[in-house]
Amino acid sequence: MSQDKPAHADAQRIASAIGTLLLRANRMHLYDTLLEGHTGIDRWTYPVLSGLARIGPSSASELADQIGLDRTVTTRYASRLQAAGLLTRQPSPHDLRATVLQLTAEGERCIQTLRARLNDLVLEALPGWSPSRIHAFAQDFDQVVQNLVGTPAAGDDEPAET
Amino acid sequence: MSQDKPAHADAQRIASAIGTLLLRANRMHLYDTLLEGHTGIDRWTYPVLSGLARIGPSSASELADQIGLDRTVTTRYASRLQAAGLLTRQPSPHDLRATVLQLTAEGERCIQTLRARLNDLVLEALPGWSPSRIHAFAQDFDQVVQNLVGTPAAGDDEPAET
DNA sequence: TATTGTTATACTCTATAACTATA
DNA sequence: TATAGTTATAGAGTATAACAATA
């Protein structure tokens, strides 16, 4: 069987690893490790700040679509991050209804720190890997994730993800 | 830079993919796709049933530790799954305080179906990959996840993950 | 005294509904 | 009429506290 249909057993292994990574306890542990020591940001507001850093200054509605959260939740979390001094609200010059969310200098620093820390965590999870092995894995993993979550990079275009 | 420190850029790519996979919208989409059409089981009770299938018949406390949920939540979700006919409660023969949770035949069938479906989803995310490429990726991914979430297979030994 | 299962309670996340202002 | 932002409200997940029964 490992000769005839090796892909099946390997797919099971991949599926199991995905399940492990998504498991609440492990997810939370990863987020907590990443955010440890940071004030003004937590597991729930982090995706908002991170998403804003990824797509750049944008309205709450745009950002909400990107991270898959409701508009109302996004604006509430944005208020928390604003209170923590990590982002600002500015009226849009083009649309008087819209508000532009933008990272402050402190917000930028925060994101830089968190990105670096996550990178370190990842590198620690690849002990002794050769650069070529890391490169191949990065390519493959990226492709798998893109295919798994659908074509869009991060958010989804479906109306109600709930 | 891609010559000097290729590992850094690749680590960033891996980190980004992890972030994408863990993003709420994508996580939910994956769970919903997996559970589509199944009644009596949802995003929240699925880890309970899946965990029970993985570790076999066990008490609610044991299971709770494994999946990183509180005892009280686990027992409540177990009640739902019991009402849906997917698991049974039986008094433990060794400990009169304990209750043994166990999958019913229908629960077993349910898990089999879900595992097969997840496998299919994974295979679809590896279009045209050679068996050796799949095998290498499965090994690497498994190792990365194990290292990322800590030594324990699924749950964590820390007291309060929250 | 500690642990198991369970329920009661409170807290938080999240979405729907509703309101105001603008396109 | 539709859309942006926001707030009010309600529903659901989750943890802490508390209880009875047993180790």
B73 CA, D12 C1': separation in Å?
13
Q: Which residue has the higher pLDDT, A133 or A152?
A: A133
The model's pLDDT over A104-117, given as tens digits with 9 standing for 90+, comes to 999 999 999 999 99
**A-proximal residues of B, 4-33, CB under 8 Å:** 6-8, 10-32
Q: Is the CB of B80 under 7 A from strand C?
A: no
Tell me the CA distances in angstroms from B137 to A94, A125, A135, one per residue in order. 48, 15, 12
Residues 6-65, chain B, CB closer than 7 Å to nucleic strand C = 24, 59-61
* Number of neighbouring beta carbons within 10 Å of residue B33: 14
Q: Which CA-bearing residue is nearest the C1' of C20? A: A97
Cβ–Cβ gap B15/A131 under 8 Å: no
DSSP character at residue B64? H
Nucleotide closest to residue B89 (CA–C1'): C5
Question: Which tens digits make up the pLDDT trace of A77-130?
Answer: 999 999 999 999 999 999 999 999 999 999 999 999 999 999 999 999 999 999
The tokens describing B47, both together, are 């880890």
Output the six-digit token pair for B132: 């050796």
* B135, A10 Cβ separation under 8 angstroms: yes
B111 alpha-carbon distance from chain centroid: 11
- The predicted pLDDT at position A160 comes to 32
pTM of the predicted structure, to 2 decimals: 0.88
Report CA-CA distances (Å) from A81 to A32, A77, A111, B78, B93. Answer: 17, 6, 12, 37, 53
For chain A, give the mean pLDDT. 89
Q: And the tokens for B134? A: 């799949």
**Do the chains contact at A68 and B24, CB–CB below 8 Å?**
yes
Give the CA angle between residues B31, B37, B42 to the nearest 5°: 45
Q: Are B116 and B98 in contact (CB under 8 A)?
A: no
